[in-house]
A and B are shown apart, each in its own frame.
Chain A
């Protein structure tokens, strides 16, 4: 008779998106994930992807004669440290899919090397941070929105696809303390150039022309202030609809704007967010209104927190002058790669080859590339050194910050396969070896 030992772990935090769901249940048998309950399709897939497979790295790899060959940790760390210390302007990028203590080591390493430190906010919600730095941001936590919001606006985001359980846990279908009737106690507005799946289940869909969100925000702000506008239509939206929308916004009990890449990645970038924040502030003359970004990666908010409390800045930081300096556009990963101002890259928990514009990826491949990642990806396939990592939130404990900046403790539900080490441990080894090389 064989007794099967299945371990069930409860209250597991999902390490995929910024919704950071905290109610997953994971069954482990023989150190393999065999079932995941309560997660969305993507979260569940992430847990299963941690099982050993041909896509999972288990040993350090160094490129020799054009091919990635297995090596020892000592060899790989030594070679990586050699590359990084010799570089005049190394780039350290990624960090959003790992836990806070590892991110902290990233800061230490970047300072030691005098390089550029950046995280994925740079291509995602960086504009949100820029706007916050100019005009502030009235915000709150997801729990507050779930319990109080009777008017929810999704502007330039598509949670059905990008944050699948958000609508069910916090923003649309869930019953809240003051929203006991759940969906029926809420009025949902979606503003987007496409009639997305999120728009299709909303109460009001406003079709806005691509790249003209700023003008629409500008018009709504003025209408809310009681100004009679000259225009009959703005950004493809008729003035009547703009006035109706402004009325709805002013007359709700508690409103919230959730926004995403539709605003940050289109022309005007942070000025779209600036206008949305100013609209939110203006609405507080009439009712309670708040605004919050739909953060993409599960711990990009954490990377911003950790970088900020260590250096004063959340992303796009340069240490070359011996102290941290901040300037997106000058020290952003994509910009410095495009201009070929980097001579070595260390990529941690990220896949820029897939997610950066092609022209910058081309430049990244011209110089030595070291990658810390659990899985094969277009970035690792062309790396010079691959350091296999344990997956934070599955094989390593740590802290992650949700999209509303609430910190949650990630669990370790199983052991990492092969010789994988945690991101934190790998960065510590690099720091130690680099200190040795520069004679500290």
Chain B
């Protein structure tokens, strides 16, 4: 199952804040920041269970994260990934010469993963180092 024509927003959550103070290389951090929150009705269309890994794809990259249902909806057509290394695989690095990348508002599509692993922060960044 997949969904197109979504808009991806990123930002802070309190869980992500707590987790990153506890150690950015922990599982707590993965559970707090390697997630994608969907609007409740949008999620029904994906026809899968909460927690199933999904691949989020934008013009700038792709990343596999756990799916959840947003507590901050309704926001049909919008998905949310907390700030952090997972979000940063798919945000727009271009700043239009302002210096600040465009972290919010990318067009995205999502695919439910039958297989595929959600990497922890170190594994994820390691893949950048090796590129």
Binding site for B on A (CB under 8 A): 16, 40-42, 45-46, 49, 53, 55, 122-124, 126-127, 130, 158, 160-162, 164, 193-197, 199-200, 210-211, 261-262, 264-267, 269-270, 296, 316, 328-332, 334-335, 338, 351, 353-362, 365, 375-378, 381-382
**With the chains together, A53 CA to B105 CA distance in Å?**
38
**With the chains together, A361 CA to B126 CA distance in Å?**
11
**Closest A residue to B121 using CB positions:** A378
Residues in B with CB closer than 8 Å to A211 are 7, 104-105
Asked whether B88 lies within 8 Å of A358 as measured between CB atoms, the reply is yes
**With the chains together, A146 CA to B10 CA distance in Å?**
29
Contact of A49 among B23, B74, B131 (CB under 8 A): B23
Residues in B with CB closer than 8 Å to A262 are 11, 104
Asked whether A354 lies within 8 Å of B24 as measured between CB atoms, the reply is yes
Other A-B contacts than A161-B14, A316-B99, A330-B97, 11 sampled, CB-CB below 8 A, are A41-B14, A161-B13, A195-B73, A210-B9, A265-B10, A267-B102, A269-B96, A328-B99, A334-B101, A358-B88, A375-B24
**Closest A residue to B98 using CB positions:** A269
**Closest B residue to A338 using CB positions:** B93
Residues in B with CB closer than 8 Å to A160 are 14
The digit string for B81-114, where 1 denotes a CB below 8 A from any CB of A, is 0011100110111011111111111000000000
Residues in A with CB closer than 8 Å to B9 are 193-194, 210
Distance in Å from the Cβ of A19 to the closest Cβ of chain B? 12
> What are 26 contact pairs spanning A and B, CB under 8 A?
A42-B17, A45-B21, A55-B25, A123-B101, A126-B98, A161-B14, A161-B17, A193-B78, A194-B72, A194-B73, A194-B75, A211-B104, A261-B11, A265-B104, A266-B105, A330-B97, A332-B100, A334-B93, A353-B128, A354-B20, A359-B93, A360-B93, A361-B125, A362-B131, A375-B24, A376-B24
Residues in A with CB closer than 8 Å to B93 are 334, 338, 357-360
Asked whether A193 lies within 8 Å of B23 as measured between CB atoms, the reply is no
Asked whether A357 lies within 8 Å of B88 as measured between CB atoms, the reply is yes
Contact of A124 among B10, B73, B100 (CB under 8 A): B100
**With the chains together, A193 CA to B17 CA distance in Å?**
21
Count contacts between A and B, CB distance < 8 Å: 185
Chain B interface residue count, CB cutoff 8 Å, equals 53
Asked whether A381 lies within 8 Å of B98 as measured between CB atoms, the reply is no
Interface of chain B residues 15 through 40 with chain A (CB within 8 A): 17-18, 20-26
Most buried by B among A46, A338, A378: A378
Residues in B with CB closer than 8 Å to A199 are 72
**Closest A residue to B97 using CB positions:** A329
Asked whether B98 lies within 8 Å of A127 as measured between CB atoms, the reply is yes
**With the chains together, A210 CA to B75 CA distance in Å?**
11
Residues in B with CB closer than 8 Å to A270 are 98
Residues in A with CB closer than 8 Å to B88 are 354-358, 361
**Closest A residue to B21 using CB positions:** A45
**Closest B residue to A47 using CB positions:** B21
Whether, in the assembled complex, B61 has its beta carbon less than 8 Å from a beta carbon of chain A, the answer is yes
Asked whether B121 lies within 8 Å of A354 as measured between CB atoms, the reply is yes
**With the chains together, A160 CA to B78 CA distance in Å?**
20
**Closest B residue to A333 using CB positions:** B99
**Closest B residue to A123 using CB positions:** B100
**With the chains together, A382 CA to B130 CA distance in Å?**
11
